[in-house]
Structure 1
Amino acid sequence: MANFNEFLSRANLIDQNIQNEMFTWDGPDGKKSRIDRVLVNLEWLNLWPDAVLIAGNKNTSDHNPLIWGKKSLFWGPKPFRFFNGWFEFPRFLEVCKQLWCSYDIHGYAAHVVLNKCKLLKKDLKKWSVENGVKNKLELASLECYIYDLKKTQEVRNLVPFEVSKLIDFKARYKSLQRQENRKKMLQSRVNWLRFGDKNTKFFHNMARIKNNASVIAGLQIGEVWCENPAQINHMYWACSVSSLRPKKLFN
């Protein structure tokens, strides 16, 4: 197996995971093995990022046919991503408080909190886009102001009022630049680039390989291979609730 893995590494090939079976061959005396494999390269994964490999039924053969499928499951809405850089924006907490208090929702406490969080998420996304546009316009204006004052400084000495303005413009420019840099850092996952490989293409390829290997296209429920997210969620919560029930320790 070590030689096979070394061959894959040298040939830049990926051994595609099979979603619903651990073995693809049944031999005599109950022997099992995964001797049927599908090897792909990064170019293929880039062309077909949603492809998953599924083992079909053996029927009369002792091998499972391997079938390509597509992972198009919807497991629900994506989690809301909060940017730490938002705290550096002036009046951010005040904006959140005003939005939260403006929602007129009635009912029991959990219902109110849940629906207010949904509305706040939507409004914060909109606020982030609008504020980002304003920041870019303000940065461009500040660059012009700073440039003009520096050009003036080359011709004559600045008066105290102009010196004060230049200091304020530079401080505000640095603050906005820091906000933009933090936003870009969080969006582009620079933490990985700082501590890992600097090659962006390599990073995306490794992330795609990892995602392709860990994707769950379905689950085996009893004797049935299920790819319906609603049924899988129902079975998951049913098993979770049953595992949380108190067990009888003594007769």
Structure 2
Amino acid sequence: MSRLDRVLVSDKWWKDCGAVSLWGLKRDVSDHCPLIVRYDGFDWGPKPFRFNNHWLNNKDFSKLVEREWSSFQVDGRMSFVLKEKLKMLKGVLRKWNREVYGSVDSKIDALSGDIEDLDLKDEREGLSEEELLLRKDKFNQLWLLLKSKDSLEFQKSRSRWLKKGDANTGFFHACV
């Protein structure tokens, strides 16, 4: 970071914000670093729940939802029962998502490494029937994780597009 890369704040701002950190990002061709002032002291509230479409491709998902939904015991009006059951299901789905899809990239890397190890062993000495089945199972797991990751990224990109729109709309309409 250059001595010219600075952030200016007032004393009042510094006193009001308190828990602030400064991050210097990597510079590319410029002789200056982009700086980020990060304020960690604000409570944004609970993270909103998002349904991930790729959950529907998981063979255990519908069984989990049916089992958990029927296990919830709530009394009251139908609208209250529905709201409470959805709230409880949200917690179950968040936990399930963390267990099944949490740290997808590291799971993909681990499975790829395991498959590569089995491939190398296959080239050296061949694989037993059990190892062939294990390799096939790891390929299936890897395939499902990659499809889930792609589906999630596609879903996120679509929501961003719906929020922000197409950046080239003005250019397109000017040309037509």
How high is the TM-score relative to the length of structure 2? 0.55
Gap runs ≥5 in structure 1:
1-76, 193-202, 208-251
CA distance in 2, matches of 1:191, 1:143: 30
Matched, 1:187 2:156: yes
Q: How many residues align?
A: 122
1:235-250 equivalences under 5 Å are none
- What amino acid sits opposite 2:94 in the alignment? K
The alpha-carbon distance between structure 1 residues 205 and 181, as it changes in their structure 2 partners (threshold 3 A), is: closer
Q: Whole-Å Cα distance in 2 between the matches of residues 180 and 106 of structure 1?
A: 38
Listed as ranges, the matches of 1:105-184 within 5 Å are 105-133=74-102, 135-184=104-153
Task: Work out the CA distance in 1 between the residues paired with 2:105 and 2:70.
Answer: 29
Partners of 1:205 and 1:164 in 2: CA distance? 46
Give, in angstroms, the shift of residue 135 of structure 1. Answer: 4.6
Unaligned runs of 5+ residues in structure 2 are: 1-45, 169-176
Aligned pairs for 1:47-62 (under 5 A) are none
Deviation at 1:190, TM superposition (A): 8.2
Structure 1 residues 183, 153: CA separation in 2 closer, same or farther (over 3 Å shift)?
same
Aligned CA distance change for structure 1 residues 113 and 146 (closer, same or farther; 3 Å): same
SS at match of 1:179: helix
The answer for the alignment partner of 1:97 in structure 2 is 66
Task: Kindly indicate which of the two structures has a greater share of residues assigned to helix.
Answer: 2
TM-score, normalised relative to structure 1:
0.40
* Pairwise CA distance, 1:89: 1.8
**1:111: Cα distance to partner?**
1.8
Large movers: runs of 4+ above 3 Å: 77-81, 134-138, 203-207
Q: Of the two, which has the highest radius of gyration?
A: 1
Question: Cα–Cα, structure 1 residues 154 and 190, in superposed 2: closer, same or farther, change >3 Å?
Answer: farther
Equivalent pairs: percent with the same residue?
27
